[in-house]
């Protein structure tokens, strides 16, 4: 049986993963997403589409962008081109531009392309695609007849450039990120790179870059997903060409903080054209999602989250909160305080329980006895519990939203978040 959720978006059928092109226009939130409608496992990627006015109830729309045999429609972002600088609409009907990675399933080559729409539902692929070509290069004598190309070159996120004017695109490029600039959204020039300080253990995916106001002025957040299935973020500045990370004064902060400290959230990105940073992610894990019990569909999104940047005793940290609690049944929300040494049990069916524990230094979420883990060895050995260091001291203020076995836990006033699925 398929699981039904009250507050979390799911596809009408088939497979769903990363959110794409999320944008807010005239009171309507548009959610595009990676979608394969013909099976409950990953396949040739389409862009699915849904809309909402409250971020809780969603209306399914027709598929926005279809693949071809030579072009799968991978992740990306949308820009509402209000001034029609692209010329792909009119002043009376400004276009919505969908930037996506065109993935060639035959060669593996990835390039950045555009589809556009003036009714925000029916999209036309731009005849000038790709707008950013992959770089061909020779990789030694053996490759002379078969030029190589840049690997893992994908997931364009486009945002307005407050320094140079126009727009900037941040793009995943293997073990680093690349930045491009354009005045018309069609012609792009590379302006910079950013390499995560923790090295090249795995590749980058689904980057995002946006400003936040703080007590010390405007700071920028750069966040991304890694193929080790974690989502780090960095605090710094955007100089118009690239992101520059702020030096961390705390020696113990060897690794960057994470958007989420559990495994059931990935590829989290923000809505474009939104008054404040509002984001959601794919509420699953690549490590076991294809094994989870399902019949007609697989995949769900997290609830939308709002964010602010606070200076804490351990450095700058994002503080998250649900975008709304209005419309969520009281029985599905728990708000409380745990003192160090205390724990809270969330009872499930047949005596199963999810356990949340707090110490002076750490927060632990234990799902080892929260349901069936037998279908996945990874679940049993590497994802049965999650541990994160606390940001605050003393008592721990917590908000928990549960929706038919899916828990979103905002601990330490939202400075430490866990998204945990139970089965």
- Give the residue numbers annotated as catalytic, written as ranges: 18
CA distance 363 to 256: 18
Extract the runs of DSSP E, i.e. beta strands, from 118-216: 124-125, 136-137, 148-149, 153-160, 167-173, 176-182, 189-194, 204-214
How far is CA 135 from each of CA 147, 168, 415, rounded to the nearest angstrom? 10, 19, 40
CA 129 from centre of chain:
25
Structure token digits, residue 5:
């959720």
Q: To which H or E segment does residue 189 belong?
A: strand 189-194
Burial, 127: exposed, middle or buried (Cβ in 10 Å; 0-12, 13-18, 19+)? Answer: exposed
Sign of CA dihedral 122, 127, 132, 136: positive
Whether 41 contacts 298, CB under 8 Å: yes
Whether 172 contacts 207, CB under 8 Å: yes
Whether 99 contacts 76, CB under 8 Å: yes
CA distance 292 to 308: 34
Q: To which H or E segment does residue 148 belong?
A: strand 148-149
């Amino acid at each position: 049986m398929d699981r039904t959720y009250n507050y979390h978006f799911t596809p009408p059928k088939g497979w769903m993963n990363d959110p794409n092109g999320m944008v807010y226009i005239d009171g309507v939130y548009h959610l595009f997403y990676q979608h394969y409608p013909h099976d409950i496992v990953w396949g040739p990627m389409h862009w699915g589409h849904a809309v909402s006015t409250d971020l809780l109830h969603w209306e399914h729309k027709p598929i926005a962008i279809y693949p071809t045999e030579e072009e799968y429609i991978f992740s990306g972002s949308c820009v509402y081109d209000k001034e029609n600088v692209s010329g792909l609409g009119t002043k009376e009907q400004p276009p919505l531009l969908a930037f996506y990675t065109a993935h060639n399933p035959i060669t593996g080559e990835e390039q950045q392309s555009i589809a556009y729409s003036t009714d925000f539902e029916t999209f036309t692929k731009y005849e000038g695609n790709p707008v950013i070509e992959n770089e061909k290069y020779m990789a030694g004598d053996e490759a002379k007849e078969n030029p190589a190309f840049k690997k893992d070159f994908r997931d364009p996120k486009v945002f307005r450039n407050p320094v140079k004017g126009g727009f900037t695109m941040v793009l995943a490029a293997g073990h680093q990120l690349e930045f491009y600039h354009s005045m018309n959204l069609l012609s792009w020039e590379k302006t910079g790179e950013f390499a995560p300080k923790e090295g090249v253990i795995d590749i980058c995916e689904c980057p995002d870059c946006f400003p936040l106001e703080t007590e010390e002025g405007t700071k920028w957040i750069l966040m991304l997903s890694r193929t080790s299935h974690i989502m780090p973020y960095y605090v710094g500045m955007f100089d118009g060409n690239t992101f520059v990370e702020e030096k961390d004064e705390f020696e113990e902060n060897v690794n960057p903080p994470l958007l989420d400290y559990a495994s059931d959230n990935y590829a989290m990105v923000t809505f474009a054209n939104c008054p404040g940073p509002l984001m959601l992610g794919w509420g699953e894990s690549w490590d076991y999602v294809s094994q989870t019990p399902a019949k007609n569909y697989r995949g769900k999104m997290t609830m939308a989250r709002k964010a602010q940047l606070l200076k804490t005793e351990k450095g700058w940290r994002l503080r998250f909160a649900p975008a709304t609690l209005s419309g969520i049944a009281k029985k599905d929300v728990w708000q409380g305080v745990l003192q160090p040494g205390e724990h809270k049990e969330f009872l499930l069916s047949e005596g199963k329980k999810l356990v949340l524990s707090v110490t002076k230094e750490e927060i632990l979420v234990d799902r080892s006895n929260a349901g069936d883990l037998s279908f996945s060895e990874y679940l049993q050995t590497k994802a049965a519990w999650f541990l994160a260091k606390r940001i605050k001291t003393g008592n721990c203020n917590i908000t928990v939203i549960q929706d038919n076995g899916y828990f979103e836990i905002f601990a330490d006033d939202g400075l430490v978040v866990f998204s945990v699925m139970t089965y």
